[in-house]
Amino acid sequence: MSELTLKLIIILIPGAIATLIFGKLILHKDWSSFRFVLYSILFGIVCYLLLQLIINGLNLIICRDLPELTIWSNLSNAYYIPYKEVGFASIFSIAIAFVASMIENRKVINKVAGFLGVSGKYGDENLYSMFLNSKDIEFIYLRDIKNKLTYHGWVKSFSESENVSEIRLCDVAVYNYSDSEYLYEVNEVYLSLNKQEIIIELANLKENGQEEKQQE
């Protein structure tokens, strides 16, 4: 490993930290190595730009002669590594990752694009994640076609892979799929089912109240 390669790895630490946090806070499919490196570079640039803006702002507000970042002018110098600048940028990377995650999870870019009529796309996640992430989703009917069962409960958590949907339900009532005959109830259930063999329906409040009365 050359000195220049080692330097590039070190100065990309803030971007890598932001990318790791960002990846933990949003729903996404597995990233390729290229995409991870690309995000690290982009986040890293934002971290150093923010640090530079703060320095410029302090110079203007309190009239201090703080030095400019040296990372820009010494980028090709393999023997000079600005450790202090990397450290401060790494601190800012946490806040940047949280802000970027909030923008992504609240679909700010998609909402602005929809308002301007640029795009009607809802986001990068699939309809399964979009549906279960909706604020209107509380109690659902999950119909397991293969095992001929229907689960009624509220969604506590969920995830998915390429072929499997995982979901965790609480306050669950279980019914026959064919005739909706009540079978039993449990406090909580974890289900891992084939995507092609389930149907998820939103249960309304009237149905929830009626079912509670019937079970009592």
Show me where the domains of the chain are located: 3-113, 127-215
**List of the chain residues with pLDDT < 50:** 206, 209-216
Query: Residue 68: what pLDDT?
Result: 83
Query: Residue 97: what pLDDT?
Result: 97
CA dist., res. 147 & res. 194, Å (int): 11
Do residues 15 and 93 touch, judged by C-beta distance below 8 A?
A: yes
Q: Is 134 helix (H, G, I), strand (E, B) or coil?
A: coil
Q: Is 139 helix (H, G, I), strand (E, B) or coil?
A: strand
CA dist., res. 137 & res. 185, Å (int): 20
Q: CB neighbours of 183 closer than 8 A, spacing ≥ 6? A: 149, 174, 175, 176
Hey, which residues does 155 pair with through a beta bridge?
169
- Could you identify the residue written with the tokens 């982009």? 42
Query: Residue 126: what pLDDT?
Result: 64
Instruction: Supply the mean pLDDT for the chain.
Output: 85
Which tokens hold the place of 11? 């100065």
Query: Residue 205: what pLDDT?
Result: 55
Class of domain 127-215: mainly beta
Do residues 151 and 142 touch, judged by C-beta distance below 8 A?
A: yes
Query: Residue 118: what pLDDT?
Result: 82
